[in-house]
Structure 1
Amino acid sequence: MIRNSEAGMSIFSASNKLTRNVNLEDFSVIWLDKNVNNDIDCEQTKYKLRCVIDYIQTFDNEDDCIEYVEDYYMHKIFLVVSGDVDQQFIQKVHMFDQVQSIYVFCLQKEAHEQLANNHSKVQGFFVNIDNLIDHLKCDMFACTRISSFVEYSLRNLADNNRISMFGFQFLLKILIQINYDETAICDMIDQCRSYYRGNERVQNDIDEFQQNYKPQDAVIWYTHDSFIYRLLNAAFRIQNIDIIFIFRIFIRDLYQQLEIMHMNLLELVCNPAQMTVYYGQWMTSTELDKLKKNVDRIVFMNTFLLTSIDRTFAEIYFGCRSQWSYLESVLFTIELDSEIMTQPFVGIRSKSKSTDENKILLPFGTLFQIMSINESDNHVWHVHLICVKCNQYGSEIAFEQEFLTDQRPTMDSFFRLVERMGDPTRANRYRKMNMINRKIFLHDFELHEKWNHFDKTIDKIRALSTLALFYYQIDDCEAALRNYKRCVKLICDTNSEFEQIKDIFMLMEPPLNSTYDIGGKKVYNAKEIMDSLLKIRHENKLILNMPAIGNVIKGFIKGYNTCDNISLNSNTWEEYLSKKYRK
């Protein structure tokens, strides 16, 4: 079964664009002020806050604010309140684990100082919004190490979690094997622009991605603080298949690059089979207790994890926590074995925009056994993990055999898989989105005659035939025929050598052997297309024992009967062609 979006809400609007009604990142800013929706200055403040954390919700009454905080327990919330807020409200929200920090925005700092002494999450009292934002930036950076690691990133491999993990991993396995066209990256960029509308900082990042992205840079983009990292990291943790679908081409590039880098790593390190890495973070007592209950059990990692080869460096992340006195310091020691792990782990020093020292990126779905959890004399909890292998159930093997055959998966394979996993509504939405995005891309390609951008004639012919084939695949028959006419005309006008275009003939076989419904009239194919193709075939002395070309020509015989009302069969067509094109 596929997990639904947060609180059962759809992340898409009626126009199939990402909606702002749901936070798709990990962090949220909540601003409580009775004048927040009436003050013009507040709009400028919102703009500044979005430069730090994109998702902002404003409230002008405490009851609605409390209800929202309770519902969005999966997010890390930074709460900004006005000076006239009731102290009982502060006491209530202070109890929620999802509330990371509280900032009091007021003109009378002295009147509220006692509040900070009694509540550790109250980070300060601010008269100037710029000072508040500087403090928020620091706290947000520190908060990246206060992850809900046990609750959402490291899960017990019980049967219910196993079904969820296997299903999600299998969707990824299908997506990373599909050959995508340019519409996939265009859709991803368009969706991100729509979601981050009004956020100038992120829009600039999207501009940079659109102008400079190459598939070999996927790891760089994923491992630095960008909109891609923030959206994908949250999506992996809560298994948001909608975001995974939108980022499908990037995820494929990411996995392909990880495979290459994994092989390079094994060639470079002294002992390729085994390696120890470290990960340091803060953790609530509740999370630590859950971890202790899973000692000796197998758990799986529900996200990518960036670890350090250097233990000292990992310890930096929990070295100072004066403002997080309610948290525990935890150091994970993780033993890797490339002979056991089925997914690639990679070193990313040369592939990251970060200047940090050597790191190892562990992939989604890595399986571990928790060996021990002990507290040291300096009050640091040490968690020892070793990677393990888990045998597949018979049902899982059968599922893979059904969808991962020798034939390469397609988008239709993915849609059918989503249906099989119990969500036909989502599968149909994906089909519709895929068709609409492809139409937009094709219409733009055709409108601007982008095939003329190619220097070589053979590339122009191939672009036109591919364009026609794509139209055929989305059932736009008239557009398909229109572009096949262009393709054939170019072949004839340039007297192209058959050896150069025979692969194009093979692409043209399925659509040209189909019946089209144009304007309510059944049309097998346009007479001029078949005339031109038959002429090419005759003048180049093509032979029927070439399977694909032979099938095309046999199909043309049927089409010629339809369009030219001529009785013609496979035994007499050579004679007909000789008469028709006799010099």
Structure 2
Amino acid sequence: MVNRVLRQKNIQFMFLFGFFLRDLYQQLKCEHEKFLRKQLKNSKVTVYRGQIMSKTEIEKLKDSIDNIVTSSFMSTTFDPAMSEIYLGTSMPDDELQSILFEIELNLAEKSFPYADISTISWFPSESETLLMPGLEFKMTENSIYYNVERKIWLAKLELVSDTIEKEDDRMLEGFGERRKMRYYIDLLMETLTDFCSATASLIETVFNHLMELFPREKWILAVKMSCLAQYNIDRDFNYTLALPNWDEALKYWFEYQDDEELNVNIAIGRIYYDI
């Protein structure tokens, strides 16, 4: 259920699962640190995942020139035989194809957490390693191919360092919690307006949920109104609708002008520039 919500990018349901996702992230992060300590003698480990995919999905994977980013939790195992139990075989022209992913994890690379969870799993014999959504993997030109003898597809992936998270860590070093929150909510606004073509209704839903979670942080309303104004410009090409939203955003930002931690002057200046 959680993975379906993540794959569909259903923001409303993500908020409903928010506490569960946060707790799971924290636990996986803790297990990740334990995992790294146990693997001090190794620079890399390999995990496996067997999966049934459509022929079309296989072709898209073969033709992809970009790195692959996981959109949901991925269950893998240290045991390649275990990963093939439910696979079966497939011919290249079959509509459904069997594919075995061989995933190399460079333990020195900074990334979202992953960990061996066999000690806390209901099925410890499966040697399960759980990967967090958002992990990025590299494929080379010959990374995926059909193995005639085994009658399955084989795909080799390599974990890529999360350069964005590294930059975020450097940028936010020494910042207080509220300043960090503002940075990530600004990033959310950028994602909603620039990358995922959010509707006005979705923007309202996201920021209303944030206000419910952080009722004391009234400045979130300023980001919401700025986001709606940007939507008015980018989607409706309507400055008449955008101006009242920018005015509302300025009204809320002015209330926090003396708040040194939030440092809102840049946000105010950006609105005047856009107007």
- TM-score, normalization by structure 1: 0.31
Distance 2:55 2:204 in 1: 40
Gaps of 5+ in 2: 194-199, 219-275
Residue 286 of structure 1 deviates from its aligned partner by: 0.7
**Residue aligning to 1:385:** 157
**Residues 283-332 of structure 1 deviation map (CA, whole Å, 9 limit, x = unaligned):** 1111111111126x42211112110101111111212679xx63111111
- Higher relative contact order, structure no. (Cα contacts within 8 Å, ≥ 6 residues apart): 2
Contact 2:75 2:128 in 1 (8 A): yes
**Residues 395-427 of structure 1 deviation map (CA, whole Å, 9 limit, x = unaligned):** x9589958x862114997476654454364234
Identify if the C-alpha distance between structure 1 residues 434 and 357 changes in structure 2 by more than 3 Å, giving closer, same or farther: closer
Quote the sequence identity (%). 27
The code of the aligned residue for 1:349 comes to: S
Contact 1:415 1:430 in 2 (8 A): no
Distance 1:398 1:264 in 2: 24
Distance 2:217 2:160 in 1: 45
SS of residue in 2 equivalent to 1:385: strand
Identify if the C-alpha distance between structure 1 residues 474 and 364 changes in structure 2 by more than 3 Å, giving closer, same or farther: closer
**Residue aligning to 2:121:** 352
SS of residue in 1 equivalent to 2:158: strand
Gaps of 5+ in 1: 1-229, 439-472, 476-583
Identify if the C-alpha distance between structure 1 residues 401 and 320 changes in structure 2 by more than 3 Å, giving closer, same or farther: same
The code of the aligned residue for 2:158 comes to: I
SS of residue in 2 equivalent to 1:290: helix
**Residues 87-138 of structure 1 deviation map (CA, whole Å, 9 limit, x = unaligned):** xxxxxxxxxxxxxxxxxxxxxxxxxxxxxxxxxxxxxxxxxxxxxxxxxxxx
Alignment of 1:536-555 (within 5 A): none
**Residue aligning to 1:319:** 88
Is 1:367–2:139 an aligned residue pair?
no
SS of residue in 2 equivalent to 1:303: coil
Residue 356 of structure 1 deviates from its aligned partner by: 4.3
Match of 2:39 among 244, 265, 269: 269
Match of 1:286 among 56, 65, 89: 56
Contact 1:418 1:426 in 2 (8 A): no
Identify if the C-alpha distance between structure 1 residues 245 and 313 changes in structure 2 by more than 3 Å, giving closer, same or farther: same
Contact 2:49 2:76 in 1 (8 A): yes
Is 1:242–2:12 an aligned residue pair?
yes
Distance 1:314 1:374 in 2: 18
Distance 1:260 1:274 in 2: 19
Residue 391 of structure 1 deviates from its aligned partner by: 4.0
The code of the aligned residue for 2:107 comes to: S
The code of the aligned residue for 1:343 comes to: F
**Residue aligning to 2:147:** 376
SS of residue in 2 equivalent to 1:250: helix
**Residue aligning to 2:222:** none
Distance 2:217 2:164 in 1: 37
RMSD of aligned residue pairs (Cα, Å): 3.5
Contact 2:70 2:133 in 1 (8 A): yes
Match of 1:426 among 180, 185, 205: 205
Distance 2:147 2:189 in 1: 50
Identify if the C-alpha distance between structure 1 residues 398 and 351 changes in structure 2 by more than 3 Å, giving closer, same or farther: closer
**Residue aligning to 2:258:** none
SS of residue in 2 equivalent to 1:339: coil
**Residues 263-290 of structure 1 deviation map (CA, whole Å, 9 limit, x = unaligned):** 2112223634210111111111111111
Distance 1:265 1:398 in 2: 24
Residue 256 of structure 1 deviates from its aligned partner by: 1.5
Is 1:310–2:89 an aligned residue pair?
no
The code of the aligned residue for 2:29 comes to: E
SS of residue in 1 equivalent to 2:133: coil
- Aligned residue pairs total 203
The code of the aligned residue for 2:7 comes to: R
